A = this chain, B = another copy of it.
Amino acid sequence: MADSTSHDSVMNRWLLKRLHNKIGAPNVRVAVGDGAPFPADARDAVATVRIDGWRTLASLALNPEIGFGEGYRDGRIEVEGDLQQLLDAVLEAMPERTEESWHARLFSRWLDWLQANTPRGSARNIHHHYDLGSDFYKLWLDSKLVYTCAYFPEPGATLEQAQAAKMDYVCRKIRLQAGERVVEAGCGWGALALHMAGHYGARVRAFNISHEQILVARDRAKREGLEKLVEFVEDDYRNITGQYDAFVSVGMLEHLGFENYETLGDVIHRTIGDSGRGLLHFIGRNQPHAFSPWIRKRIFPGAFAPSLAQSLAVLEPWNFSVLDVENLRLHYARTLEVWLERFERAWDSVVRMFGAEFARAWRLYLAGSIAAFRAGNLQLFQIVFAGAQSRQIPWTRADIYSAEPDAERKLWMRAIS
């Protein structure tokens, strides 16, 4: 290992101690080269982080998250023991409001500018992640390629069952009826749009700026004989046109940036007016915070997870009524656990496709996300809302949990007047 000559220096020990304290003194050990781990007395530590030398150590001290992400990605940092337990321990211990260094703040601002979600910027950001090719995602997502938080009615459900249950849950929450018109903003590989058409008889227009995903989605619609009910449009959400009964967006708000919430609100109001209804499903936080800079740099350029109050900047200006909010963060942790298991099984294929650095970065992204949803650094919100003049407000939520939805579907929508 490089720089191992300096691993026992006073400077290294001082930096290791500082770093360990900065991340909340979790029950993990840190070491430089083959030097002695710090803290020396942490015998039951869940893992040891081994850093190749003082340069990497200095980058960690300056910006722990970026330093760790970059170092782990290219192998300058190795984890002895369980990576997941390490990340869980650090996220449990690390104070949410860790004071950011000037370097971290500057880097975050620079990312804001570099990855701004202008129409062109969004296209670039989305291309970076979603156009890696369906073959890659097929290695570790479910068979329908649903790349958002699933809903496990029982913790033991399979991922396939849980993704189908999630799509049904969304349809039930908006009390979707046959023949209704739905617009979907950010449709991935089209699974939800096809579910709405195939299982509920809805007519769906689904928007996405990922070229790869749209091609797959159109092909599916053809194969499933749903081309007449579902139209996949390769375009930005800002360009959505038409009138609809309902608006849904599952896993897109994260890619908008707060500065575009007002625009999204405009789009929603333009398409469903004061009488429609809708659902937003997105990664959020307990309080306003910047998104992880390393995830933005390597995984999701332009990403932002709002607090619940921030997310309401989409809905309140248009007088929409929030009917229902649910936090499904434990379900995202479980979803990610299954993804990571499958990802690890497909490790060699991933390395062949994109190389070892990519594979290590994505392992860290998946394991880090599990830790974040477990510890509560990230939340998953589903918001159901209705226009100010909507006369289709459900009486209770009991129907969503009814065992025989079809028999009762007629009762779901209760007109007030």
- Chain A residues engaging chain B, CB cutoff 8 angstroms: 96, 151-153, 155, 286-288, 307-309, 312-313, 316-317, 319-327, 329-330, 374, 376, 379, 381, 388-389, 393, 395-398, 401, 414, 416
Q: Which of B309, B316, B381, B398 is the one whose CB lies under 8 Å from A153?
A: B398
- Measured between beta carbons, the chain B residues less than 8 angstroms from A416 are 330, 374
CA distance A326 to B326 in the complex (A): 9
Which of A151, A307, A321, A414 has the most chain B CB atoms inside 10 A of its CB?
A: A321
Inter-chain contact B286/A319, CB cutoff 8 Å: yes
How many copies of this kind of chain does the complex include? 2
Min CB–CB distance A179 → chain B (angstroms): 25
Contacting pair A326 B374 (CB below 8 A): no
Closest to A322 in B: B308
A288 touches B316 (CB 8 A): yes
Which residues of chain B have C-beta atoms less than 8 A from A320's C-beta? 286
A96-B319, A308-B312, A309-B313 are known contacts. Are A327 and B327 too (CB-CB below 8 A)?
no
Closest to A274 in B: B376
CB of A350 to closest CB in B, whole Å: 29
Q: A44 to chain B: closest CB distance in Å?
A: 16
Which residues in B have their C-beta under 8 angstroms from that of A287? 316-317, 319
What are the residues of chain B within 8 A of A313 when measuring CB–CB?
309
CB distance B319 to A323 under 8 Å?
no
Establish whether residues A330 and B388, one from each chain, have CB atoms under 8 Å apart when the complex forms: no
Give the CA-CA distance A286 to B389 in the complex, in Å: 12
- Say yes or no: A324 contacts B321, CB within 8 Å: no
Most buried by B among A151, A153, A396: A396
Do residues B327 and A322 form an inter-chain contact, with CB atoms below 8 A? yes
Chain B residues within an 8 Å CB radius of A317: 287
The answer to whether A388 and B401 touch across the interface, beta carbons within 8 angstroms, is: no
Kindly provide the distance from the CB of A86 to the nearest chain B CB, expressed in whole angstroms.
16
Q: For residue A289, give the distance in angstroms from its CB to the closest CB of chain B.
A: 10
Smallest Cβ-Cβ distance to A399: which chain B residue: B401
In the assembled complex, which residues on chain B have CB atoms less than 8 Å from the CB atom of A319?
96, 286-287
Name the distance in Å between A218's Cβ and chain B's nearest Cβ: 34
Assess the A155–B395 pair: CB atoms within 8 A.
yes
For the complex, what is the distance from the CA of A316 to the CA of B287, rounded to whole Å? 5
Query: When the two chains form their complex, are residues A324 and B322 in contact, meaning their CB atoms are under 8 A apart?
Result: no
Q: Is the CB of A321 within 8 A of B398?
A: no
Would you give 23 A-B contacts (Cβ < 8 Å), ordered by A? A152-B395, A153-B396, A155-B395, A286-B316, A286-B320, A286-B322, A287-B319, A288-B316, A307-B312, A307-B316, A308-B312, A309-B313, A309-B316, A321-B327, A321-B379, A322-B325, A322-B327, A323-B327, A325-B325, A326-B397, A374-B416, A397-B397, A397-B401
